[in-house]
Amino acid sequence: MAIDRRNLKVLANFCAAAADAMAFTLMRTAHSAFVKETEDFSCQVVTREGLAFASPRQFGAPWYSGIDYAPLIEMFNDYAEGDICITNDPYSGFVATHSPDIHIWKPVFHEGNLACFVVGHIHNTDVGGAVPASLSRSLTEIEQEGLRIPPVKLVQQGVLNQFVLSMMAANVRLPEQNIGDLHAQIASVNIGERKLKEIIARFGYEDFIDGVGQILDYAEAQTRAILARVPDGEYFFADYADEDSVGGKPCRVALTLRVNGDEVELDYTGSDPQLGSSLNMPTGGRKRHPLVMVGLTYVLYTLDNSLLLNAGTLRPARAVLPEGTIVNCERPAAVGMRSLTCAMTQIVTVGAFAQALPELMPAASPGGNAIMNVKTSARNGRPVMASIGPVGGGGGGTPICDGSDGAGGATGFLRNTPIEISEAEVPIRFLRYGLQPDTGAPGRYRGGLSAIMEFEVSAPETVVTARNRNRSIMPSWGLKGGHAGVVSRFIRNPGRSDETDLGNTDVVRCNPRDVIRVIGPGAGGYGDPFERPASAVLRDVRRGAVSLERARHDYGVAIVADEVDTDATAALRAEARPKSRIFTYGAERIAFETVWTQERYDLLTRFLADVPVGWRFFLKHRIFEAVAFLPAEDETPIDQQMGAIFREMRERYGL
Amino acid sequence: MSYRIGVDVGGSFTDFAVFDETNGRLATLKVFSRPDEPGAEITAGLTALKGRDGLDPAAVSYFTHGTTVGVNTVIQRNGHDLALFTTRNFEDVLRIARLKIPQIHNLYSVRPEPLIPRDRVFGITERTLATGEVLVTPEREDVGAAVDAARLAGCKGIVLAFLNAYRNPENERAVKAMIGKIAPELPVFSSAETWPIIREHERTITAVISGYVQPRVSRYLDRFETVLRQEGLACPLLITKSNGGVMGIDQARNDCVQMILSGTASGVIGAGYLARASGFDRILSLDIGGTSADVAVIIDGQPQYGVGELIGDFQIHIPSVSVSSVGQGGGSIAWVDPLGMLQVGPDSAGSTPGPACYGRGGTRATVTDAVVACNLVGHMPLGYGAVEVDHAAARAAIAPLAEALGSSVEAVAGDIINISVSGMYAEVSGLISRFGIDPRDFHLFAFGGAGAMLASFLARELDMKGVVVPPTPGVVSALGGLIADLKNDFIRTVYCDVTAEGLAAVASPYAALGAQAEDWLRNRQGFKGDARVKVLADMRYQGQSYEIEVPLEGAWLDAGDGAAVADAFHAEHARLFGHSSPTAPVQMVNLRLTISGATPKPALLPLAPAEAPATPRLEVDAWFDGRATTTPVYHRVDLRAGHRLDGPAIVAQDDTTTVVPPGFVVHVDTLGNLVITRREA
C-alpha cells in the first residue's frame, strides 16, 4: 500500500505500537527497579542505516528519541536473521554513553531483505568496577567504571553466546539481576521484530521503507516549521556545574546557538576541557549525538506539542563538539556521571533559546536532582542498601504558568519512592518530606518549589549518598525579571549544636540519631514578580509556598490578617527598582564572572585547545589557581594577564 | 410473576435489561439519559416497560444500577469541599504525588491541581512507625485547632491519612473519634478504613476521591431510591461496583469509592458472562460509544483486575475491573494538519454537538461521519428513534478535507476509518504486551453503540480469531449489573517475610478478614446462599518495588505453610514475567480476601434455527478499502441460528450496526451471536 499524507499516520501508529509493545514487554519481564520504577530504559525502531523512527509514547528515558545507531550497526559487515548484538562500551560507537547502559540491536528481515533494526537499552543497577552501582564522580578512568562489553553478537542466528553471559555474571555485583534484565531486553527486541514483520507484510517492503522515510521527513518538516519562527542570529549562553571533580573548580558548559532560517547549529566551543572526574560526555563528536540534543528536543516539543520525536526531528540541527572537551571526551576519560553534565547542556540550550524567544522559554530548571541512597544495617546486622528517591528542585517559571513543584522541566521524568516503602525497607525514620517554602524563585510566574527530605539514621556506619547533586554553589537563573533560584542544601543535624553544612558533598557517613536534611536547588522565576497579581501571591502565602516576609520583599505584596492590604501593596510596588535584564543570575555567579569573564574563558579555551588532551584538566586547575592569586586591583588588560599565565605554564611544564 | 432489572445510566442513553424469571426471557429498552433531572430516565423507562411489556413494578424482585455519577464528579471537579489531615511535616503528599510530570518533554508541564488545595491540608502531631508502633499519640487540642481551621476554610468533610496507618490505624481512629465529638456534623473519611494499602500517596488519594464524590453520589442514590419507591418497587436496591460485583444501596452511600467505576465494570462483567455462556473462553471486550472506546481482557469469563485505574486526572487504588481506554470513539474529529497530513483526534465532537451526520449542530468530520460517508451504516432506522443518519451532512463535513488532500470524499472517509482503527490498534497492542497474551487466541467481543461498526477492522489488524457481536450489544452494561454477584474485597497490609515464622503473624489478620467478610455477606447484605471466598496476596521478591497478585489456599495460611505460599508466588511470577528465582526470599505485602455470593443468572435462550437462507432487506454501494462494493444489508431480526453471510455485508439492528468487510464471513450461532471470522482461502 503506497504511503502518502493520507495514510502516513496509519504507518506511524503501527510503528509506535511496535515500540510500545517493546517497552511493555521490557517493563513486564525486567528484574530491576531501574526499569520498573525509574523507567531508565529505551526501545526504538531504527532504519537500516540506524535512524530512530519510532519510540514508546509514554515510557522510558526521554533522551533517546532521535538516536542514531549507525556507528554500532556499522560494526558488523553482515547480519543474519536471528542475530542480536550487544555493547555497553561508550568508546565503541558512542551510542552507549556510560557503562551501566547495555544496548542491544537486532536486524529485522523481510523475505531475506534487511528492513530495519529493533534496538534498546537498560540502565543496569551495577556493572562492576570500583564502586557499587558503578557510578561515582570521583572515578577518573573508564576502566574503573566496570565491565565493558565490546560490540559482539550476543545471539548468532538464534544461538545465544553463553560466554557473554558468563563473563557478565563474573564481573558484576548482582549477576542475577543483570542476566534477568538482559533476557528481558532480548524478549523486547524479539517482540519488536515480530511486530515489525507483521507491519512490513501489511504494507509491503518497498512501501514500508518509503513510508519510514516519510515519517522521518515529516518530523523534519515539523522541526523546520518551528525553527523558521525563531529569529535568526547567534545566541551565546553558559552555565556552571558546582565542581569539575571532588573539591574542584566550577565546571562550565558553554553554547553558541546559531539559528539560520530553518536550521540550527549548537556550538559547544568554550565548554570545559575533558575532566579528571566522571562528568565527561562521550559523544565521539557526532553532530546529532543524543546527549547534546536533549535540550533542543525539549525546546522544540515545548514550542509544538504535536512534534513527532524521531531522528528526523534533529535533521535541521548539528552540534559542534570540540575534541578533548567535556562534550566530546577521549578514552580513557571516565563518563559515569555524564547525566549531570547533560543536564547542564539542557539548561544552556534553554538559556540560548531564551534570548531568541524570551516570550516562549521558561526560566531555568535547576538540574542536579540528587538521587538519595542509604547504605546501613538492620538491628540484626543485615546490610541494607536502597534508593530512597530523588530530591531536586522544581521546574522553572514559564511564560504561562508557575513551574512544577518538587520536580519539573527537564528532570520531571523521575518517580519518587513512597516514604512508607522506604521506612518499611530501610531502618531510618523520616521527619519530613514535602515542598520547602520560599524555594521557588519569585517571578510573574514563580519557579516550582524544591523538595525537602529529612530523616534520622538508626545504625552506625551508615553511608548516605546524594548522587548527581548540583547547584549548591551557583543557583539557577531567572528570566525576564524573574529572580534567580536558591542553592541546594545538604545538612547534617540541622538546628543542633553539631549542625554541619555538607556543602557540595555527595557522600556522608552517619551514626545513630544523626539527622540528614536535603533541600533541592531552587528553580528560576519568569517575569517581574511585582507584576504577579496580589491574589496569586496571597494564595501562595495561604498555601505555604511563600512566606509573608518574602511576599512583601520579593513581590511587593503586603498581607495583613490573611488579606491583601491594597494600599500598602500599591505603595510597595510603586518603589523604584533596578531595571531587569533578560537573565537574573545569583550573586555567586555574578561574583565568579567578575573574574572569569567571557573574554578570560575564551582565552583559556583557545590555550587549552592547543595542549595535549591529557594535560588540559591539570592545566585548567593550575590556571584557576594562578588567576585566584592575581591582585584584586590588577589593572592589566585580561589578555595580557592570561598571556602571562599561559607563558608561565608553558615554561614550567615544558609544553 | 417476578422480574429482575438491571439499569445502566450513561452519558447519552440509559439502558434497561429486564429478565422475566417466569419464562427466562430477557427484554431490553433504551431511553435518553436526563442529566438535568437524574431519576427521570428511570421513571421514563419503567413507564415504557409497563406500557410495552405489561411490567408490574411490585413484581420486581431484584434491581441493580450502575452509574457514572462518581467518575463525572471527579472529572468535572464539582465534589465536596474537603480538608485533609496528614502527619505533620508530610502535608504535601497530594501536591508531590509520585513526582513524575505528565508530559516529560514539555517544559511547561505541571501535575494536575490536587482535589484538596494545600491551604486545606493540616498537619497533625502524631506518628506511627513502619512496625505499627505508635510513637506519638494525637492530642485533642491539636486536632481541635485543625478542625477549627478546616471549618473556617469552609470545609464540609475531613479526610484522614496518616503515615503508616496501613499498618496500625489506631491514630486515625483516635482522631476520627475526636472529630466526632468536636464537629459531629463533619463526615470523616479515614484512609485505613477506605483501603489500607502501603504507599502514602496511593492510600491518601483513594480516601480523598472517596470523600470527594460522597455527597453527590449519596444525594443521587437518595433520589434514585425515592423515584423507585414512588414507582412501586419494593425489592432491595443494589449498586454495581468497580470490582465487578454488586452491593446494597446503603453501603454504596457510605463507601462511594467502591462504585466509582461501576458503569465500565458492569459492561465488562456482562461481556464476560455472555461470552462464556456462548463458549468463547478468551475475549477482548470492545465497548465503543460516542465519546469512548474501552477494551478489557477476559479469560474464562473472568476479567483482569487492577489497581491504579484512572479517574479523570487521578488514579484510584482499590481493586477494579481493569479497563483500558483505547480511543475516543465515534466522535473523534478528523483534520488536516499544517503539513498536509490527515489526522484523527484528539479533539472530539462528544455527544454534543456530535457527528455532523446526527444533525445536532456538529459540522466537523468525525469517525462516525466517515463510516456514514462510506455508506456502511444508516440504512435502516434505529429502533429507539434517537438519531437519524444524514448521509449528505456526513459527506459535506468530509468534503473540505478531501479537497485539501486532493482526493475523493469516500477515499478520505476510508482513510479516516483506517487512522482511527490504527490508533486503537496501537493502544490494544500495548495492552496485549502488558498482559503478555497472544491476540490470535482471542475473539473481539463488540458492544456499545459503535463497537460492532469498527470491530472487524480492528480484529483484522490485530489478526484475532474473530469478532463476536451479541444479540443485544446496546445493553451489555445493564445486563452485567443484572448478573453480577454480591462481592466485596478486604485487605490487610501484613508486610512479612514468607517463611514459617513470618506467616505465623498472618494467621490472626487472616482470621479477622474472614470474619469481616462473612459479616458483610451474611449480616449486612443478608445473603443466604453459598459463599465463595478467594484468598489473594500481593507478593514480591525482597527488594522489588512492585507486587504481583497471587491466589492462595486458605489452608496454607491456617497451617503456616511458607513453602506452599512461596511456591505459588514463584509459579505466578514465572507465568506473568517468564522467569522466577526459586531461591530468592519472598515478601508478602498485602493479604486480601474476596467474598462473593452468587446471584441467579438468566438463561440465554437459543435462537430458532434457520430454515432458509437469510435474505437482505436491500443492497447498497458501500465503500471498503477505497472501493465501492455492492453490499447486502440484513436486519438482525431476520437472522436465525445457522445462517451464514459472506462479507461484505451489513447487519442493522435497533441499537447498532455490524459491518462485515470483504473477506470475512458471519455465522449466526445457536444463541444468536454474530461470529465473524476471516474467510478461509
The DSSP secondary-structure symbol of B257 reads: G
Q: In A, residues 302-331, which contact B (CB 8 Å cutoff)? A: 302, 305-306, 309
Q: Where are the beta strands (DSSP E) in A427-551?
A: 428-436, 450-457, 462-467, 478-479, 489-492, 500-501, 507-510, 515-519
Round to whole Å and give the CA distance between A392 and A369: 4
Residue B428 in any domain: the answer is no
Cα-only R_g, chain A: 26
Q: Could you tell me if A535 lies within 8 Å of chain B, comparing CB atoms?
A: no
At B384 the pLDDT is: 61
CB–CB of B16/B4 below 8 Å?
A: no
At B302 the pLDDT is: 87
CB contact under 8 A, B411 and A6: yes
**Which chain A residues are within 8 Å of B201, Cβ to Cβ?**
418
Residue with more model confidence, B362 or B674: B674
CB–CB of A108/A115 below 8 Å?
A: yes
CB–CB of B81/B154 below 8 Å?
A: yes
- For residue B334, give the chain A residue with the closest CA: A6
Say if residue B681's pLDDT is above 70.
Answer: no
Quickly count helices (H) and strands (E) in chain B: 18, 35
- For residue B406, give the chain A residue with the closest CA: A6
Task: Please count the structural domains in chain B.
Answer: 3
Whether residue B183 sits in one domain with residue B85: yes
Domain boundaries, chain A: 8-221, 362-528, 596-653
How many alpha carbons lie under 13 Å from residue A5 in its C-beta half-sphere? 18
Joined grid coordinates for residue B244: 465487578
Kindly report the average pLDDT of chain A as a whole number: 94
- Neighbour tally for B333: CB within 10 Å: 22
Whether residue B411 sits in one domain with residue B503: no
Q: In A, residues 87-146, which contact B (CB 8 Å cutoff)? A: none
Whether residue B388 sits in one domain with residue B493: no
The DSSP secondary-structure symbol of A373 reads: E
Residue B347 in any domain: the answer is yes
CATH of the domain at B495: 3.30.1490
- Neighbour tally for A523: CB within 10 Å: 43
Q: Could you tell me if A28 lies within 8 Å of chain B, comparing CB atoms?
A: yes
Q: What is the pLDDT of residues A249-276, one digit of tens each?
A: 999 999 999 999 999 999 999 999 999 9
**Confidence band of A6 (pLDDT split at 50, 70, 90):** confident
Angle at A527 between CA A526 and CA A528, to 5 degrees: 130
**Confidence band of B607 (pLDDT split at 50, 70, 90):** very high
CB contact under 8 A, A406 and B430: no
Calculate the alpha carbon distances from B105 to A299, A320, A410, B439 in Å.
Answer: 8, 23, 7, 32
Q: Could you tell me if A403 lies within 8 Å of chain B, comparing CB atoms?
A: yes
Say if residue B383's pLDDT is above 60.
Answer: no
**Confidence band of A528 (pLDDT split at 50, 70, 90):** very high
**Confidence band of B163 (pLDDT split at 50, 70, 90):** very high
CB contact under 8 A, A413 and B101: yes
Q: What is the pLDDT of residues A72-127, one digit of tens each?
A: 999 999 999 999 999 999 999 999 999 999 999 999 999 999 999 999 999 998 89
Q: What is the pLDDT of residues A472-496, one digit of tens each?
A: 999 999 999 999 999 999 999 999 9
Residue B396 in any domain: the answer is yes
At A379 the pLDDT is: 83
CB contact under 8 A, A408 and B101: yes
Round to whole Å and give the CA distance between B164 and A391: 21
Q: What is the pLDDT of residues A310-344, one digit of tens each?
A: 999 999 999 999 999 999 999 999 999 999 999 99
Whether residue B590 sits in one domain with residue B507: yes
Whether residue B503 sits in one domain with residue B414: no
Q: Average pLDDT, stretch B279-284?
A: 95
CB–CB of B474/B437 below 8 Å?
A: no
Q: What is the pLDDT of residues A271-281, one digit of tens each?
A: 999 999 999 99
At A256 the pLDDT is: 98
CB contact under 8 A, B92 and A433: yes
Residue in this structure with the C-alpha cell 489488524, named with its chain if needed: B461
At A369 the pLDDT is: 87
Q: At which of B540, B569, B597 does a domain end?
A: B597
**Which chain B residues are within 8 Å of A60, Cβ to Cβ?**
none
Residue B225 in any domain: the answer is no
At B434 the pLDDT is: 79
Residue in this structure with the C-alpha cell 525539549, named with its chain if needed: A298
How many alpha carbons lie under 13 Å from residue A143 in its C-beta half-sphere? 2
**HEC states along A407-422?**
CCHHHCCCCCCCHHHH
**Which chain A residues are within 8 Å of B415, Cβ to Cβ?**
6-7, 10
CB contact under 8 A, A9 and B119: no
SS3 A336: coil
CB–CB of A326/A270 below 8 Å?
A: no
Closest CA to A279 of A154, A103, A140, A378: A140
**Which range is most confident: A534-543, B7-16, B488-497?**
A534-543
- For residue B119, give the chain A residue with the closest CA: A543
Q: Where are the alpha helices (DSSP H) in A30-73?
A: 33-36, 70-73
CB–CB of A367/A349 below 8 Å?
A: no
- Would you state the torsion angle of the CA atoms of residues B670, B672, B677, B681, taken in this order, to the nearest 10 degrees? 60
Q: What is the pLDDT of residues A155-174, one digit of tens each?
A: 999 999 999 999 999 999 88
- The reported pTM is 0.93
Q: In A, residues 176-195, which contact B (CB 8 Å cutoff)? A: 176, 180, 183, 187, 191, 195
Q: CA of A161, closest CA in chain B: separation in Å?
A: 19
**Which chain B residues are within 8 Å of A404, Cβ to Cβ?**
101, 109-111
Round to whole Å and give the CA distance between B110 and B234: 50
Q: CA of A235, closest CA in chain B: separation in Å?
A: 20
The DSSP secondary-structure symbol of A557 reads: -
- For residue A408, give the chain B residue with the closest CA: B101
CB–CB of A216/A223 below 8 Å?
A: no
Of B166, B341, B344, the CB nearest to A8: B341
Residue B473 in any domain: the answer is no
Round to whole Å and give the CA distance between B464 and B621: 27
- For residue A346, give the chain B residue with the closest CA: B107
The DSSP secondary-structure symbol of B441 reads: G
Residue B163 in any domain: the answer is yes
Residue B8 in any domain: the answer is no
**Which chain A residues are within 8 Å of B324, Cβ to Cβ?**
none
Q: What is the pLDDT of residues A563-582, one digit of tens each?
A: 999 999 999 999 888 788 89
Say if residue A624's pLDDT is above 90.
Answer: yes
At B416 the pLDDT is: 96
At B81 the pLDDT is: 94
Sequence-ordered list of residues with C-beta below 8 angstroms from that of A556, at least 6 positions apart, any chain:
A529, A530, A569, A572, A573, A575
Q: Could you tell me if A60 lies within 8 Å of chain B, comparing CB atoms?
A: no
At A195 the pLDDT is: 93
**HEC states along B292-345?**
CEEEEEEECCEECEECCEEECCEEECCCEECCEEEECHHHEEEEECCCCCEEEE
Joined grid coordinates for residue A597: 569573564
Q: What is the pLDDT of residues A369-397, one digit of tens each?
A: 898 989 899 888 888 888 888 999 999 99
CB contact under 8 A, B90 and A5: no
Say if residue B386's pLDDT is above 90.
Answer: no
**Confidence band of B129 (pLDDT split at 50, 70, 90):** very high
Q: What is the pLDDT of residues B231-276, one digit of tens each?
A: 899 888 999 999 889 998 988 888 888 888 888 888 999 999 999 9
Residue B343 in any domain: the answer is yes
**Confidence band of A205 (pLDDT split at 50, 70, 90):** very high
CB–CB of A52/A70 below 8 Å?
A: no
Q: Average pLDDT, stretch B421-437?
A: 87
Could you list the residue range(s) of the whole structural domain that residue B389 is in? Answer: 329-373+383-420
Joined grid coordinates for residue A143: 576502566
Q: CA of B485, closest CA in chain A: separation in Å?
A: 31
Q: In A, residues 147-166, which contact B (CB 8 Å cutoff)? A: none
At A514 the pLDDT is: 97
- For residue A445, give the chain B residue with the closest CA: B108
- Whether the ω angle into residue B353 lies within 30 degrees of 0, i.e. cis, is yes
Closest CA to A81 of A185, A182, A156, A161: A156
Of A361, A419, A434, the CB nearest to B163: A419
At B22 the pLDDT is: 80
Round to whole Å and give the CA distance between A628 and A615: 20
At B282 the pLDDT is: 95
Sequence-ordered list of residues with C-beta below 8 angstroms from that of B54, at least 6 positions apart, any chain:
none
Closest CA to B293 of B522, B88, B446: B446
Q: What sign has the CA pseudo-torsion B100, B105, B108, B113? A: negative
- Neighbour tally for B315: CB within 10 Å: 17
CB contact under 8 A, A405 and B129: no
Say if residue A308's pLDDT is above 60.
Answer: yes
Mutation target for B interface from A39, A420, A431, A432: give the one with most B CBs within 10 A.
Answer: A420
At A432 the pLDDT is: 98
Q: At which of B195, B213, B230 does a domain end?
A: B195
Kindly report the average pLDDT of chain B as a whole number: 91
Say if residue A535's pLDDT is above 80.
Answer: yes
Mutation target for B interface from A5, A371, A400, A450: give the one with most B CBs within 10 A.
Answer: A5
